[in-house]
């Protein structure tokens, strides 16, 4: 009994230590990006960094649905664009009473369409940015998952839905300005020009807050019983069904949450780029989201953020230094990561990299078994009881 209590106490202590370390990292991340980077970077570079951080939110959603649940979505550009359009519509309506956005007059539209009128309200806009992408994702997910479609067929369906939305938005000139999209850079929000440095700095800081909040939500979702169910769906869905669970509603829920995260990312990205167009639903962009997670390491959360920042930063540097051939460098980088680091950067650090770093400082290699039996308190207790019984006999 005393051994069991001591082991449980040791386990709780280890968990507290991990939480303290993670909390310290989050605080350090926040201070570095929120305080130090605005002092170092010019406003243009800071805007780029803000966009990368906004895209990291979408990557967290991808990691939640793909890394933990095993469902590869190639259509997250739908939800990303819906969030961006929702906030852009609100900004475009910040006009004197009786006026409508200029692009309507180009197509002979004199009265504001009914679809736009709710976006006069800022609370409704916030609701639309989060809930509308989540609802669309939930409906799409329900139609797919109720028929037990998964694997490559799920990926194909999400990409097909992406193409449908892309073509639909491209053809809506009189409603949302079609291929030209909605520009927000010169418009005002709360009386301030969206593209002005103070407003961009404010949106940069807001992006950091949302990124931290969504990371903590993902951490909470994946660390408890719900996270275990997601991993069970990924690893052996049939066994989960035989255990009495219905995976359909869990998959619908997590896909909906992932879509909502993409909507938030789209809204924050839009105000920091100054425009939202149907190109946000381009097939290549949705595939690139998956690449961010693959490079960082799927099923790690931290890897989703790290992969997004590294890939987008590398893309920016290469396109500036080698404007004619940078795509070849990017393609080579992805091939190297896939072939050499199949588990991503964070996955490599957990398996090989960490041991190599320890060996540089003279520490012995950590012995790991699956599923980490040497750290399991129940296994340790059984081992001690077994050794005690042998000694007693």
Q: Please give the residue range of the domain that contains residue 270.
A: 41-326
CA distance linking residue 73 with residue 58, whole number of Å: 12
367/225: higher pLDDT: 225
Is 118 among the domain residues? yes
CA distance linking residue 271 with residue 88, whole number of Å: 8
- Reported as a single tens digit per residue, the pLDDT across 45-73 is 899 999 999 999 999 999 999 999 999 99
Q: How many domains does the chain have?
A: 1
Residue 104 has pLDDT above 80, yes or no: yes
Is 155 among the domain residues? yes
Predicted local distance difference test score (pLDDT) of residue 131: 95
Mean pLDDT, residues 89-99 taken together: 88
351/242: higher pLDDT: 242
CA distance linking residue 65 with residue 69, whole number of Å: 5
Is 381 among the domain residues? no
Is 348 among the domain residues? no
- Reported as a single tens digit per residue, the pLDDT across 303-349 is 999 999 998 988 888 888 877 777 777 777 777 777 777 788 887 77
Which residue in 311, 319, 312, 315 sits closest to 337, CA to CA?
311
Q: What are 188's strand-pairing partners?
A: 193
Is 341 among the domain residues? no
Predicted local distance difference test score (pLDDT) of residue 281: 94
Q: Is 192 helix (H, G, I), strand (E, B) or coil?
A: strand
122/372: higher pLDDT: 122
Least confidently predicted of 3-7, 239-243, 323-327 = 3-7
Mean pLDDT, residues 199-228 taken together: 92
pTM given for the model: 0.86
Is 223 among the domain residues? yes
* Phi and psi, residue 189, nearest 5°: -135, 125
247-273 helix and 197-223 helix, angle to the nearest 10 degrees? 170
Q: Which residues contact 203 (CB under 8 A, 6 or more apart)?
A: 50, 268, 271, 272
Q: What are 192's strand-pairing partners?
A: 189
Residue 269 has pLDDT above 80, yes or no: yes
In the structure, what pLDDT confidence band is assigned to residue 370 with cuts at 50, 70 and 90? very low
Mean pLDDT, residues 24-49 taken together: 88
Q: What secondary structure does DSSP assign to 342-373, as a single string?
A: TTHHHHHIIIIIHHHHHHHTTPPPPP--TT-G
Which residue in 125, 141, 156, 162 sits closest to 257, CA to CA?
141
Cβ atoms of 198 and 41 closer than 8 Å: no
Is 147 among the domain residues? yes
Q: Which residues contact 163 (CB under 8 A, 6 or more apart)?
A: 283
Mean pLDDT, residues 352-359 taken together: 62
Which residue in 121, 117, 140 sits closest to 262, CA to CA?
140
Mean pLDDT, residues 245-264 taken together: 93
Is 365 among the domain residues? no
For residues 211, 217, 220, 223, the Cα torsion angle rounded to the nearest 10 degrees is -60
CA atoms within 13 A on the CB side of 314: 16
188-189/275-276 β-pairing = unpaired
Q: Is the peptide bond before 121 cis (omega within 30 degrees of 0)?
A: no
Percent of the chain at pLDDT exceeding 90: 42
Q: Give the 3-state DSSP-derived string for 129-155, with helices as H, strands as E and coil as C.
A: HHHHHHHHHHHHHHHHHCCCCCCHHHH
């Amino acid at each position: 009994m005393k051994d069991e209590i001591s082991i449980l106490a040791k386990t709780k202590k280890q968990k507290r230590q991990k939480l303290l370390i993670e909390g310290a990292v989050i605080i350090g991340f926040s201070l570095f990006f929120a305080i130090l980077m605005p002092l170092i970077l010019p406003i243009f570079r800071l805007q780029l960094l803000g966009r990368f951080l906004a895209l990291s939110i979408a990557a967290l959603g991808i990691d939640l649905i793909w890394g933990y649940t095993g469902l590869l979505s190639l259509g997250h550009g739908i939800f990303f664009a819906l969030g961006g359009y929702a906030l852009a519509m609100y900004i475009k309506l910040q006009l004197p009473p009786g006026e409508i956005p200029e692009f309507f007059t180009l197509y002979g539209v004199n009265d504001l369409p009914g679809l736009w009128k709710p976006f006069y309200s800022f609370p409704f806009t916030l609701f639309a940015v989060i809930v509308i992408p989540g609802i669309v994702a939930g409906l799409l997910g329900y139609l797919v998952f109720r028929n037990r479609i998964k694997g490559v067929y799920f990926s194909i369906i999400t990409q097909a839905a992406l193409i449908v939305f892309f073509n639909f938005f491209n053809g809506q000139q009189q409603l949302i300005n079609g291929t030209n999209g909605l520009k927000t850079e010169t418009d005002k929000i709360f009386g301030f020009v969206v593209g002005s440095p103070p407003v961009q700095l404010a949106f940069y800081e807001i992006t950091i807050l949302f990124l931290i909040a969504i990371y903590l939500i993902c951490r909470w979702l994946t660390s408890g019983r719900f996270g275990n169910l997601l991993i069970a769906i990924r690893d052996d869905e049939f066994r989960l069904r035989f255990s009495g669970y219905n995976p359909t509603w869990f998959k619908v829920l997590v896909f909906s949450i992932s879509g909502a995260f993409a909507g938030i990312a789209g809204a924050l990205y839009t105000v920091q780029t100054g425009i939202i167009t149907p190109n946000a639903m381009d097939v290549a962009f949705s595939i690139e989201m998956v690449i961010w997670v693959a490079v960082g390491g799927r099923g790690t959360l931290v890897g989703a953020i790290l992969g997004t920042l590294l890939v987008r930063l590398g893309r920016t540097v290469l396109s500036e230094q080698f404007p004619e051939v940078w795509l070849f460098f990017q393609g080579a980088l992805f091939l190297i990561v896939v072939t050499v680091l199949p588990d991503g950067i964070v996955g490599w650090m957990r398996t090989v990299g960490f041991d190599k770093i320890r060996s540089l400082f003279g520490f012995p290699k950590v012995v790991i078994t699956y599923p980490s039996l040497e750290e399991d308190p129940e296994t340790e207790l059984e081992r001690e009881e077994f050794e005690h019984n042998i000694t007693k006999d």
